[in-house]
């Protein structure tokens, strides 16, 4: 059994990590760090933990306690992980960061989008982008993984097989995605996230290529296809707690029927335990709620010679904590499905 720690454990992503790690058959959840709830039981931050554990939140301090663990998950806001990761790596810990600090190979790209200097460029050279379906082999030997963003996970998984076939127009990629409110994090208190503003309302935000997940999507898709790609990405906020539905479009260079592309996707994800290619019913956020699954459906519009690909994930599981645990499994030589082998909640 390996000892694991979660830093930033009182946020939504950290809370989901606690839930998944507590039931994992190969690790012991040893420490949970939260400055907000330091010294208090887990139930102070998450009432559902009442009578489930004696574990209490701790203050991170100088990081010595975290460095005693075999695996450390960093689930804080952008800018924190780059301060903590170097010491943890020096101590021999495997580190999985849920922020954006280690998602970009080029730290200049990070700095231009996140408007802060990158303080750990040497550590960043060791980082692998944590999308197992694309970078699984590299993740196995990585000491540091930059866990993908939730929108990029849904978009990349939807488009990667199509790009593999290379029958698309590279100038035509469009990602239209909707996310539940938990995607903003637990500490988001701005007016846009008040109940009267969100309820019975759907709104686009960060339009026209201004969302920070845009360069992340482009980096991976460009890497995968071998040529620079640009994506039109538009995120939307919808009035539900969790879930992402991404509807992606691409123009086809040659006539291809729906059945051929479905076969392509099924073959591409044949060894991916957390990706299901579905048709009836088509993907919906309720189908993946609480699970580490990504459901993908697609169809070709012969009239316009365009393909539509729809993917659904739980933004807190496959889009965050579940994918982080999946990465840990690969890094530690566990079965990829350990601690994640359950379906979604229904209804």
Q: Are residues 221 and 231 in contact, defined by beta-carbon separation less than 8 angstroms?
A: yes
Q: Are residues 156 and 309 in contact, defined by beta-carbon separation less than 8 angstroms?
A: no
Of residues 223, 105, 215, 219, the one with CA closest to residue 164:
223
Beta-strand runs (E) in the chain: 2-7, 27-33, 57-58, 71-74, 94-97, 127-129, 144-146, 174-179, 203-204, 232-237, 244-251, 275-277, 294-301, 306-313
How many Cα atoms sit within 13 Å of 214 on the Cβ side? 20
User: Rounded to whole angstroms, what are the CA distances from 234 to 72, 208, 212, 309?
Assistant: 33, 7, 11, 15
Residue with tokens 């686009």: 204
First to last CA, the chain: 34
Give the span between the Cα atoms of 87 and 165, in whole angstroms. 42
Which residue in 150, 248, 294, 332 is the catalytic one? Answer: 150
Active site residue 294: no
> Cα 58 to chain center, whole Å?
25
- Looking at the DSSP assignment, which residues form a beta bridge with residue 31? 5
How many Cα atoms sit within 13 Å of 292 on the Cβ side? 25
> Cα 306 to chain center, whole Å?
27
| Phi, psi dihedrals of residue 277, rounded to the nearest 5° | -90, 120
Q: Are residues 224 and 163 in contact, defined by beta-carbon separation less than 8 angstroms?
A: yes
Q: Are residues 243 and 312 in contact, defined by beta-carbon separation less than 8 angstroms?
A: yes
Instruction: Point out the residues that are catalytic.
Output: 150
């Amino acid at each position: 059994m390996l000892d694991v720690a979660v830093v930033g454990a009182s946020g939504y992503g950290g809370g989901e990590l606690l839930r998944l790690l507590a039931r994992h058959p190969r690790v012991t959840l040893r420490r949970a760090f939260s400055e907000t709830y330091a010294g208090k039981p887990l139930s102070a931050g998450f009432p559902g933990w009442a009578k489930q554990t004696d574990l209490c939140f701790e203050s991170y301090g100088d990081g010595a306690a975290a460095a005693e663990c075999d695996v450390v998950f960093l689930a804080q806001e952008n800018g924190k992980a780059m301060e903590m990761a170097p010491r943890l790596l020096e101590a021999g810990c495997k580190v999985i960061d849920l922020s954006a600090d280690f998602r970009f190979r080029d730290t200049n790209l990070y700095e231009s989008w996140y408007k802060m200097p990158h303080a750990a460029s040497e550590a960043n050279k060791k980082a692998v982008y944590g999308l197992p379906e694309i970078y699984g082999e590299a993740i196995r030997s990585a000491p540091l993984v930059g866990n993908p963003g939730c929108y990029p996970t849904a978009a990349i998984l939807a488009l990667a097989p199509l790009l593999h076939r290379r029958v698309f127009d590279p100038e035509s990629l469009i990602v239209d995605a909707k996310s539940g409110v938990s995607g903003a994090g637990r500490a988001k208190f701005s007016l846009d996230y008040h109940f009267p503003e969100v309820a019975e309302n759907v709104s686009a935000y960060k339009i026209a290529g201004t969302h920070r997940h845009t360069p992340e999507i482009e980096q991976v898709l460009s890497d995968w296809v071998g040529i620079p790609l640009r994506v039109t990405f538009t995120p939307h906020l919808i009035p539900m707690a969790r879930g992402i539905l991404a509807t992606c479009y691409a123009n086809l260079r040659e006539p291809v029927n729906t059945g051929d592309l479905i076969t392509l996707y099924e073959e591409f994800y044949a060894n991916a335990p957390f990706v299901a290619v579905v048709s009836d019913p088509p993907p919906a956020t309720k189908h993946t709620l609480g699970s580490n699954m990504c459901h993908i459906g697609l169809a070709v519009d012969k009239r316009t010679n365009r393909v539509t690909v729809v993917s659904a994930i739980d933004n807190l599981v496959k889009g965050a904590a579940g994918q982080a645990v999946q990465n840990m499994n690969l890094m530690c030589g566990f079965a990829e499905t350990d601690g994640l082998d359950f379906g979604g909640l229904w209804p």
